[in-house]
Amino acid sequence: MKIVTAADIVEAIDVGYKQTKIQRAREYIGASGVGSPCDAALAYSLRGFPEPQIAARTQRIFALGHILEDVVVKDLKDNADVRVFEVDGLTGKQHSYRLYGGHVSCHMDGHIETDDGVLRVLEIKSMNHASFQKFVKHGVKKAHPKYYDQLQMMMGMSGFEEAVFIAISKNTSEYHCEFVEADSIQYAYLMARVEHVMSGQAAKVSDKPDDWRCNFCFKKGVCWEGLEVEVRCSTCSFAFPREDGGWHCDVHDRQCHQPCDDYELYRPKEKGM
């Protein structure tokens, strides 16, 4: 497009985002999503169902969040003088842990060691100031239960007994930090929910597409709006996750290799079923 006005510049940027190729959706239940109120959303994530093109503004919010995470890590190292291990020394990648052959996974912002010599999970979040103030006032468990569940999954999967949760306000650059202890009961509850989803029992959280919980879900396109789905074994209603990371076909009673003529698009149960 031609750029001749100030408004054209902004529009051109947004158009550029729309032309970005949509990456294939992950095919696992992530620790960051396990606190979702909807089992169907977890099932769609487990099976790798696609997500629509994310709005340009939302993409910039995510990108800014990653930049701020790097700022926080630098401050922890240079100013707080604590040891931060943001990548696994063996792989050079994020610290990650897997269950059920990778059907359940978590990726950590890092490990952190303070002067007491204890190594903890490190999780960093950037927040708008209203969310930040809520965290300061109530703590992560009450203010942001989804983040609390993410921390519990990380600790439960990795064996760590404590986590450092640090937030930065995107409005004021203030920091707030909390040490969170592992909660074995909450972790057991989350794992029971994961196994419920993996067994094919997931149901939608609502019977209306305009429910506020659906409005913020990246799987709304496949759940309510008929977004096209790639024909794969993982998106078939007859496929169930194996503990080794593969998929088992209930029709042919064997490990899935490629879609067959019996393919039927997976759909979660309706609310209340």
Provide the whole-model pTM: 0.92
Residue-level pLDDT at 4:
72
Question: How distant, in Å, are the alpha carbons of 238, 240, 251, 263, 264 from that of 260?
Answer: 11, 15, 10, 6, 9
Region for residue 9 given its phi and psi (left: phi exceeds 0; alpha: psi -120 to 50; beta: otherwise): alpha
Which has the closest alpha carbon to 207: 137, 130, 270, 255? 270
Q: What is the mean pLDDT of the chain?
A: 94
* CA–CA gap between residue 184 and residue 24 (Å, rounded): 34
pLDDT score of 41 more than 80: yes
Q: In what order do the strands lie in the sheet with 96-99?
A: 29-30, 104-107, 96-99
Distance of alpha carbon 174 from alpha carbon 166, whole angstroms:
10
Domains within the chain, CATH numbers bracketed? 25-54+199-273 (no CATH), 63-95+109-198 (3.90.320.10)
Residue 169 is given by DSSP the state E
Residue 262, pLDDT score: 94
Query: Do residues 93 and 64 touch, judged by C-beta distance below 8 A?
Result: no
The pLDDT of residue 206 is: 95
H helix and E strand count, the chain:
9, 11
pLDDT of residue 180: 98
Tokens of 257: 């290799």
* pLDDT for the residue 273: 61
